[in-house]
Chains A and B, each alone.
Chain A
Amino acid sequence: MIHFVLLISRQGKVRLTKWYSTYSKKERSKVLRELSGVILTRGPRLCNFVEWRGLKVVYKRYASLYFCMCIDPDGNELEILEIIHHYVEVLDRYFGSVCELDLIYNFHKAYYILDEILISGELQESSKRTVVRSVAAQDSLVEAAKEQTGSTISNIIAHAAK
């Protein structure tokens, strides 16, 4: 089981946090502080696993962002690397060559996508196409609803103008 997912920039800024196990607010900020200290300072050619408080943190750097997932000590670290890559590839497909700025301004979309990949800390879908399609379908539902309200407002304005 994945206990939490973190996206941390090279400067130590938090870009996304998702907690599947229960951590209080205090614990959360402690985790963030400790882990960004450990992970950001690790050298480039070292392995992607850090043992931390009896758990394991698997991290991988993509451009300026570190993707970290924390798992139980008996979890499969190599598989987690694949899950991280899976997520990154979906992000890439969705945004079209994703960059950190996409994830800053559209952080909620990054969460929506993550929610289509993981639930309760377990993998939900191994097909990137299915994930992208599902998020896109929900996006279009939102768009449709917006247009509807937009048209109601313009109706009101039209009424008021009469």
Chain B
Amino acid sequence: MNPFSSGTRLRDMIRAIRACKTAAEERAVVRKECAAIRAAINENDQDYRHRNLAKLMFIHMLGYPTHFGQMECLKLIASTGFPEKRIGYLGLMLLLDERQEVLMLVTNSLKQDLNHSNQYIVGLALCALGNISSAEMARDLAPDVERLLQFRDPNIRKKAALCSIRIIKKVPDLAENFMNPASSLLKEKHHGVLITGVQLCTDLCKVSSEALEYFRENCIEGLVKTLRDIANSPYSPEYDIAGITDPFLHIRLLKLLRILGQGDAGASDCMTDILAQVASRTESNKNAGNAILYECVETIMSIEDNGGLRVLAINILGRFLSNRDNNIRYVGLNMLMKAIMVDAKAVQRHRATILECVKDSDASIQKRALELVYLLVNESNVKPLTKELIEYLEVSDQEFKGDITAKICSLVEKFSPAKIWYIDQMLKVLSEAGNFVKDEVWHALIIVISNASDLHGYTVRALYRVFQASTEQESLVRVAVWCVGEYGDMLVNNVGMLDIEEPITVTESDAVDAMEVAIKCQRLGLTTKAMALIALFKLSSRFPSCSERIKDIIVQNKRSLVLELQQRSIEFSCILQKHQNIRSALVERMPILDEKTFSGKKAGSLPTAVSTSSIIPCNLPNGIGKPAAAPIGDLLDLSSDDAPPAPVSSGGDFLQDLLGVDLSPASAPSGTSQSPKTGTDVLLDLLSIGTSPSVQSSSSAIDILSSSHDNKAPVSNLNGLASHSSLSANATSPASSAGMMDLLDGTGAITQKHEENGPAYPSLVAYESSTLRMTFNFSRQPGNPQTTFIQATFTNLSPNVYNDFLFQAAVPKFLQLHLDPASSNTLPASGNGSITQCLKVTNTQHGKKLNRLEACWGSITLSSNHFGNFEYFGQGYIWHV
């Protein structure tokens, strides 16, 4: 190609792109350039390769795809000239990351360049290797890098040192090879080499305890001397920052000393003098000095105890906290977090300042300070600190309220001196920021209230007052509604009046009014309304005088557009009208909720994980009052009371299923499965409109708690139970399939029908691995050619029993897949038995498309931490784990 007729220059392209007024224009320019570059790549144009790559890098930075240029980088790197290599390596670092396979192709070029005679080319290769090396490359090229640590030019030595850091991070086994050369770097005078050498030693200590011991024995004195020299060195313009010689070197030396001194009294002793000198003599009016002080304080806090030094460090922290610069205050707070482990008293002294920082306008500082306050709280100061925080809650920013309420709630829960105080504080938090708390917070509050039997009256009155004042905060409304439902009689009769309370007159119809407000309020969510409906239902037996009105309100909701409300109101009004004899038993007060079950569950799950909020609400109530969903099932089957009793053998599982309890091994023992027998009895009783009121009574309110999550499943399953017809592919969760399959077994399984038809095709081992074998047997019913039955047999080849077996599958659109439940959810170990599951595949376009399973994909769950996906296309299965 003629070198004089080429595309635009890099500068012109950038100018053209910058001149674009709209995104569409820019796209057009980029498209044109990319087309030209692609064309040049196809023609294997060499003269403008580097310019094209430079253009691509710019285009890449704008966010456009540039993968087609990756090979160009490799070509440029492989060429001989320095300019080509320079831009090639830059492109390599910019356009590729370590996960791309293309990168492996460059290993050879890198090896050659690491041994190049031109030291700048060696430098380029080291830089690229240090920035994007993968573990494989690190392993291949480590010997070359190791050799370069002794290269004559210091600029190469320092690059090699940093490159070694990447290598030992990727492949920690290689650490011991680097120990000796690294320690010799510490003796250098060149600052670049020293800085990188110290850094390399620090990282070696992190990956290898052997290296840590080695440096502890051999290098501490040298490092202390280097630090002393640099701290005392006269003005040197090349390294001076704000009157300090090379703060970067200071900081790195302090960091390495910290690692060496940690847990070793002798080593710590060696460095106390120099640490004292740095801490007391470093100028603190500039950022560089403060950076050193910051590092120094951290080192003092981490090494073995030395009283005098710690005092010095805490004093520096005090200075930081009172600094006007936000940056310094931020790091001050940050360090206090570490200091609190060492010297809590000293940190307590700064409590007032820290509390001020919570109210700072800067979100980063607020966050730090809040964390710190959280750590500062103990039994003795919880009351004043909580008061401060709650006062602050009123004025804090919206986005900060979530954080702060979470912290207050957890403090109040942890250090509460008395239940009444706990309830008071929680009411304050909820009425201030109830919309920001997680569900578990108000669940916990309800449990505490339920346990504080002498405070029921007090609490319900307090809640009623706050509720009358505002219905803004939804979780407050929920707690209020729940308490009114449970303890409405105490509200009206002023039962259990405490001395501190002001008397309040609430009539029965006032309480009903309040519930009506909650149901009708537009702003409140479904869960709240459903809770209010239940509360009303409960009040109907507590306030006989209002029962007609309550019935009216409930009946109004029969026409609600929300299925949940409609269903509940139909059920409730049915009970009110036809089943007066059991009503009072049904709506009895909840038994005291078990605090331990709840806190045990909470502790078992990660405190911050999002998942907790979705799991706990359903677990919590279920763990306590088992037959939560039972009344619903009961109601559904009211017309056919003689429905066949559910199979007894699996009552426990089935109940769990109804309740939507997840079957993970952690929660199972504390849940229902412990007492499957009683669970079954209850279920049976309920199904035949039983006579165990004590259990029944607890149910409805619990049900509300889980309503937002799982109440669909139990209903549908019960429907299935009643009709025996729609036992279709409802294998959406391990729990539901488990329950259903037991039912099937008990009542004559459909599975057996297919077996009679005999295999029309040879059976197929669809998948086999070290843990599992899956076999497919095919059959067809005569006269129904479009439907194929597949019986899948799963055999466990591993020595472990899998309890949560679940098979899920999907097929292309033109096929319809019906999954029957599996024969069991427990897969015995070592091939001692197997699970079978029937799949029914219907070809909706029979005749048009081949009637065979062309593709199928899905997942197999063996236990909560062992599952895999499979895909099947044509002949073979591909298994991913």
Contact = CB atoms under 8 A, between A and B. Distances in A.
Interface in B164-215: 165-166, 169, 191-192, 195-196, 199
A162 to B, nearest CB: 19
B719 interface: no
B61 to A, nearest CB: 6
A51 interface: yes
Interface of B is mostly: helix
Contacts of B625: none
B58 A107 contact: yes
A138 B120 contact: yes
Contacts of A134: 123, 155
Given A17-B61, A108-B90, A125 B158 contact: yes
B598 interface: no
Nearest to A101: B18
Contact of A49 (B99, B294, B330): B330
A12 to B, nearest CB: 12
B814 interface: no
Interface string B555-589: 00000000000000000000000000000000000
Nearest to B365: A47
B193 to A, nearest CB: 9
Contacts of B295: 76, 79
B691 interface: no
A65 interface: no
A125 B162 CA distance: 11
Nearest to A57: B364
B159 A124 contact: yes
Interface string A17-52: 111101110000100000000000001011111110
A105 B14 contact: yes
B364 A82 contact: no
B240 to A, nearest CB: 10
A137 interface: yes
B163 A119 contact: yes
B131 A46 contact: no
A14 B62 CA distance: 7
A45 B325 CA distance: 9
A93 interface: no
Interface in B714-736: none
B361 interface: yes
B97 interface: yes
Contact of B330 (A29, A77, A130): A77
A126 B249 contact: yes
Contacts of A146: 83
Contacts of A77: 327, 330-331, 334
B793 to A, nearest CB: 39
Contacts of B503: none
B284 to A, nearest CB: 11
Interface string B312-355: 00000000000000111111001000000000000000000000
Contact of A82 (B58, B238, B291): B291
B483 interface: no
B476 interface: no
A96 to B, nearest CB: 18
Given A104-B14, A119-B130, A124-B192, A145 B330 contact: no
A14 B81 CA distance: 31
Contacts of A50: 364
A134 B122 CA distance: 13
B259 to A, nearest CB: 12
Nearest to A142: B83
A141 B85 CA distance: 12
B689 interface: no
Contacts of B11: 105
Most buried by A among B57, B87, B131, B158: B131
Nearest to B327: A47
Contacts, number: 158
Instruction: Specify which of A45, A82, A105 lies most central, judged by the most chain B CB atoms within 10 Å of its CB.
Output: A82
A18 B331 CA distance: 26
Contacts of B98: 22
Interface size class of A (residues with CB under 8 A): 35 or more
A29 B54 contact: no
A81 interface: yes
Nearest to B82: A141
A125 B192 contact: yes
B162 A120 contact: yes
Contacts of B326: 45-47
A113 to B, nearest CB: 12
Contact of B364 (A51, A120, A122): A51
Contact of B239 (A15, A122, A126, A137): A126
A76 B120 contact: no
B120 A141 contact: yes
Contacts of B238: 127-130
B120 to A, nearest CB: 5
B362 interface: yes
A19 B166 CA distance: 13
A145 B57 contact: no
B58 A47 contact: no
A129 B240 CA distance: 12
B248 A79 contact: yes
Contacts of B86: 112, 138, 142
Given A108-B57, A125-B192, A49 B126 contact: no
A158 interface: no
B162 A122 contact: yes
Given A49-B330, A79-B295, A145-B82, A120 B120 contact: no
B742 to A, nearest CB: 44
Interface string B221-248: 0000000000000000011010000111
B287 interface: yes
Nearest to B367: A51
Contacts of B199: 122-123
A111 interface: yes
Contacts of B99: 22, 24
Contacts of A127: 191-192, 238-239
Contacts of B362: 46-47
A42 B368 CA distance: 17
B94 interface: yes
Given A104-B18, A119-B163, A130-B192, A47 B251 contact: no
Given A51-B364, A82-B288, 10 more contacts: A14-B62, A51-B367, A78-B288, A81-B287, A81-B327, A82-B248, A82-B287, A111-B94, A122-B199, A130-B155
Interface of B: 3, 11, 14, 18, 54, 57-58, 61-63, 81-83, 86-87, 90, 93-94, 97-99, 120, 123, 126-127, 130-131, 155, 158-159, 162-163, 165-166, 169, 191-192, 195-196, 199, 238-239, 241, 246-249, 251-252, 287-288, 290-291, 294-295, 326-331, 334, 361-365, 367
The 9 lowest CB-CB distance pairs between A and B, nearest first, are A78-B291, A47-B326, A119-B162, A119-B130, A120-B166, A120-B130, A46-B362, A125-B192, A142-B83
29 contacts: A14-B61, A19-B97, A22-B99, A45-B326, A46-B361, A48-B327, A78-B287, A78-B331, A79-B294, A81-B291, A82-B287, A104-B18, A107-B57, A108-B90, A115-B127, A115-B131, A119-B162, A119-B166, A120-B163, A120-B166, A124-B196, A125-B195, A126-B246, A127-B238, A137-B120, A138-B82, A138-B120, A145-B81, A145-B83
